[in-house]
């Protein structure tokens, strides 16, 4: 008996991923493209975005790079105008952009505002500008946010970061309700410690502390005893982007090696 051909899970779909120039964003862009998506790779670092596109092209996928400052509403609006002109539709928006927050309570207003702007505010406006195109996806629209275990359990390292990522979770749930009548699903991924270039930055800014000691202490709280891989976050994102999760909306999905199960 001849085996039935397996259709790529994102065949014919258009996907936007923010902060896709490295780490989890890059891994997700590569996996989405491998599954048939036409990926718009956005990043503040245009060189890094182009490097992701080059990798995807080498692997036989379809992608285009765009420099995007997710804190600049004019830049966001222009990006979606160009996507509408080139594609006319959007199926997947992955709001992945984020950055570590300043430690403790002795923070400047500028650092506070930047943490909220990148981690929380940007995802709201990205979704707002994307919604008209997502409505054209004929029930295939999916919005994904990257939150954090620190958005559910709280972070002793940075209360500001935890506030922003906790806001992402509740905002995601509200958007899932708000957009349900448009058949647009909205979910979030809550990563634990993931082996990416950004990972050390969560610890290097802590005053009067040994970053390596902080990392070792954190790893004792992970039941699986290791850091996650960017590809493991990408696989979760693919599930939420595809029809495999067609009845899933309003969910904050931990990908954390069991941290939140304790």
How far apart CA 37 and CA 28 sit, in angstroms, is 11
Can you count the helices (H) and strands (E) in the chain?
A: 9, 7
Question: Is 87 exposed, middle or buried (CB count within 10 Å of its CB: 0-12, 13-18, 19+)?
Answer: middle
Instruction: Kindly list the catalytic residues.
Output: 161
How do the residues of the chain divide into helix, strand and coil, expressed in percent and rounded to 5?
50, 15, 35
- Closest CA relative to residue 219, chosen from 257, 172, 253: 257
Whole-angstrom CA distances from 188 to 165, 179, 257 are 10, 15, 17
Determine contact, residues 253/240, Cβ cutoff 8 Å.
yes
Query: From residue 35, how far is each of 27, 78, 150, 239, 242 by CA, in Å?
Result: 12, 27, 30, 11, 10
**100 HSE (CA, 13 A, CB side):** 19
| Residue 260: DSSP 8-state | G
The residues facing 40 across adjacent strands are: 16, 64
Instruction: Tell me the CB-side half-sphere exposure of residue 42, using CA atoms within 13 A.
Output: 23
């Amino acid at each position: 008996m001849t085996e039935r051909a397996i259709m790529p899970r994102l065949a014919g779909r258009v996907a936007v991923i923010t902060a896709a120039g490295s780490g989890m964003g890059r891994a997700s862009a590569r996996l989405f493209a491998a599954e048939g998506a036409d990926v718009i790779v956005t990043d503040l670092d245009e060189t890094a975005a182009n490097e992701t596109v080059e990798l995807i092209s080498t692997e036989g996928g379809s992608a285009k790079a765009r420099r995007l400052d997710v804190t600049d509403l004019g830049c966001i609006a222009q990006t979606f105008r160009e996507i509408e002109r080139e594609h006319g539709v959007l199926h997947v928006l992955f709001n992945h952009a984020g950055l570590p927050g300043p430690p403790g309570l002795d923070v400047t207003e500028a650092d506070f505002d930047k943490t909220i702007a990148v981690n929380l505010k940007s995802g709201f406006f990205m979704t707002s500008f994307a919604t008209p195109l997502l409505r054209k996806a004929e029930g295939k629209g999916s919005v994904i946010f990257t939150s954090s275990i620190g958005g559910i359990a709280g972070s002793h390292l940075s209360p500001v970061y935890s506030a922003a990522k906790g806001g992402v979770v509740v905002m995601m749930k509200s958007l899932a309700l708000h957009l349900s009548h448009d058949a647009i699903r909205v979910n979030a991924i809550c990563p634990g410690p993931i082996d990416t270039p950004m990972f050390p930055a969560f610890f290097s800014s802590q005053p009067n502390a040994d970053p390596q000691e902080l990392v070792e202490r954190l790893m004792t709280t992970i039941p699986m005893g290791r850091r996650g891989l960017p590809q493991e976050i990408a696989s979760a994102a693919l599930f939420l982007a595809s029809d495999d999760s067609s009845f899933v909306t309003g969910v904050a999905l931990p990908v954390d090696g069991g941290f939140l199960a304790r």
